[in-house]
A and B are shown apart, each in its own frame.
Chain A
Amino acid sequence: METLAWILLDTMLVTALLALGWGSLASKDLRRGVVLFIGFGLLLALVWVRLRAPDIALAEAAIGAGLTGALMLSALRDEPGTSSEAAGDASVRSTPVSASLLLTLLSAGLAIVLGAAFICALDRTDPASLAEEVFANLGVSGVSNPVTGVLLNFRAYDTLLELAVLTAAVLGILSLGPARSGYQASGPMLSGLTGWLVPVILVVSGYLLWVGAKAPGGAFQAGALLAAAGVLLRLAGHPSGGLPRELALRGLMVVGVAVFLIIGLTLMLVGRGFLDYPVAWAGSLILAIESAATLGIAATLIVAFLCGDPGQRPENHETADSGVPLAKCENNRRNTPR
């Protein structure tokens, strides 16, 4: 009976998830699509909890739904009018029916192959799986949360390269031009709320970083939460979202990769393998890497949200700091011919 209730709940979750996914792609209004996508991400976080993946649930809620949603909403702001169908989808030329049919058939075929592979994977019960290896060696990894153990010890290369990918993407964004113009200074409600929320977010982020060693949490969740504080500051009218300027910002962006590399290379110097931690030191080294990674991830995520370097001025050199001429600055930029 209990099982039946769970199956019912899971089916409802999945139905709502598919409906939100479909709605966000099919709705006529692009803005509504983005909002439905945020709802989709939050529901997906619930699904992760059902699948016993609380680490992913935290990351999904913070990055997948929160930051991606905020990023897309601010991208909508770039182009007034794209939120309506007339300026968004409809102006794009349509494809011939045959091509669209072929695409539908191809994606359906791929879905069938993927589904078949999934069912085969479920049928295989492999006793000597990677999971057993992880649980057998968790004692020497320096942490007791298996996901953190995999991310920062057993497969630390993956995480190092992931940080490098994040930094590379943000370098690409930085090279594409100045940041979006900021928002006007907020009213007393939002700025008061920001004053309360930002310190709370800082504390929770520190907690997530610390607790990641033994419970769900870790550098990504903590970094994403810190970035959320930056997004909040930005929306409340702080042009740089709490980021430092110039060299300090550059340093903050690479600190995660840098500390990771320095620790890996130092271990090589003392005669061990790259990122092969000594057992006694593993916990502290992982914490050091995670702390640096949290700062680096937060800084890169905020720069990604700002869509450029906050210290760099838009072409017309109007100041974004005073808060008053922001709307004007925005208009000027739009009126210049592209």
Chain B
Amino acid sequence: MISLAVSVRDLSVHYGRRCVFERVTFDVGVGQSLGVIGPNGSGKTTLLRAVAGCLAPRSGDIRINGLTPRDAYERTGVAYFAGDATLPGSVRAARWGSLANGDAVTSDTRPIRALSRGTRQLLGLRTALGRQPLGLIVLDEPWEGLDPDAARWLSTILESKRDRGAGVVLSSHRLHDLAGLCDMYLFLLPRHAALIRAHEIAQGALVTAELLAETFDRLRNGGSPLRAAS
């Protein structure tokens, strides 16, 4: 039996009266990765924030290594990064980087707001992923703004952390980046979510961006999901 890095059961999140998503269920095992795919406004950021424990759902249950997120932080390292816009612009890059584990992530002393978007994104990723040990990685649109070298670095480090036992949850519009990396995919659509494993999409072959796009279109057009999550 595979041990679970994160387990989400019947998760529903509302902002006031607006329902973002309802009754989403999935498990990510230790050493597995989940890609979250959906159109703008479907609730990807909200879902990842709830999984990271920064946002309380209206109903449902989230467990990280069997513990509530807040209990899990001290025992299981959780890396969460929601994009360069969440970095405080007035803080100097080198000082922000020092918050990872005390080691310098960068020697750049410029304020974060003075950095290019890709450099900010890389700084945030390096700082979040700098924690040791890491049991769960939750990244929202992590490839946004990265140049090809940095994008390759990110994919490599995610594979490496996953292979060393971390659970990985990612959201991205860049399907070609997700395609080679994830063991399963959660398609978030308005009022509908579907969890599909990589081998179910590709019938044993490699998952490609085109296959993910086809699956997404089929689900959006009312096709039945292979494995219902809600």
Our verdict on whether A and B bind, yes or no, reads no
State the B residues within 8 Å of A (CB). none
State the A residues within 8 Å of B (CB). none
